[in-house]
Amino acid sequence: MKTITIFYTKFEQELPELTYCYFLKKLPIEFQKINKQFVKWQDRHANLFGKLLLMEGLKKVVLESDLNKIKYTKYNRPYIDDSIDFNISHSGEYVVCAIGKNVRLGIDVEKIAEVDFNDFQGVMTPEEWEIIHVSEDSKRSFFNYWSIKESMIKADGRGVSIPLQEIRIEDNQVSYKNKRWHQFNFQMDEAYSSCLTVNIPEIKIVTNYIDFSNKNRITK
């Protein structure tokens, strides 16, 4: 059985400047430049932590953490090579990174918040909308569907070019046209919905929480 490792972190406040700079300098120069383009500190932190989580994952899977080896598909999906796949997501106070060998995967985390369902009529099937509206917790039901669909299109790699309403969800399987995926839910926080989508039916999920408030947590 293949293992998918999920690294995740939570941040509730801005890191001290010295700690932030300490972590930022661990990234290649080009990644540092991209990070500095974000205006909000929350976006800078989410971007930074995602890359640091990936570095931890690469060290575990391939024993090195060189982000310069990241390549991009024509749909701008990042990957390492044909044997190593990873995916990063963030929402609210959480950042997650899933990584595995010889699998294709996508991950998504969504903070459950107030939502105007009228703004999203085109992303669910009529059957899904019916389930959402009769649910005891419509918001949670909506975001559960949303995280499943988002993780699937991230695994597929074509992103928003896939119409979300055409994605079919049945039991623990997700499909679009003739391609079938397998979804696995994992719980980090009751206030969030999260989903891991993989191209194989059986996996072992290992989770690792990293506290970036302690700069010594990340090795040099």
- Given 2.40.110.10, 3.30.1330.10, 1.10.10.10, 3.90.470.20, which CATH number is that of 1-102+200-220? 3.90.470.20
Q: Which helix (H) or strand (E) holds 181?
A: strand 179-185
Residue 55: predicted pLDDT: 94
The pTM assigned to this predicted structure is 0.93
Q: How confident is the model at residue 219 (pLDDT cuts 50, 70, 90)?
A: very low
Residue 190: predicted pLDDT: 92
Cβ 174 vs Cβ 168: under 8 Å: yes
Phi, psi of 20 (to 5 degrees): -60, -45
Residue 194: predicted pLDDT: 95
Centroid of chain to Cα 6: 9
CA pseudo-torsion sign 55, 57, 58, 60? positive
First-to-last alpha carbon distance for the chain, in angstroms, is 31
Domain ranges across the chain? 1-102+200-220, 104-199
Q: How confident is the model at residue 8 (pLDDT cuts 50, 70, 90)?
A: very high
User: 3-state SS string over 89-139?
Assistant: EEECCEEEEEEEECCCEEEEEEECCCCCHHHHHHHCCHHHHHHHHHCCCHH
Cβ 98 vs Cβ 6: under 8 Å: yes
CATH of segment(s) 104-199: 3.90.470.20
SS3 category, 6: strand
Pick the residue with more confidence: 135 or 122?
135
| Residue the block writes with tokens 């090795």 | 219
Q: What is the pLDDT of residues 138-197, one digit of tens each?
A: 999 999 999 999 999 999 988 878 888 889 898 888 988 888 999 998 888 999 999 999
The amino acid at 133 = H
Query: Do 1-102+200-220 and 104-199 fold alike per CATH?
Result: yes
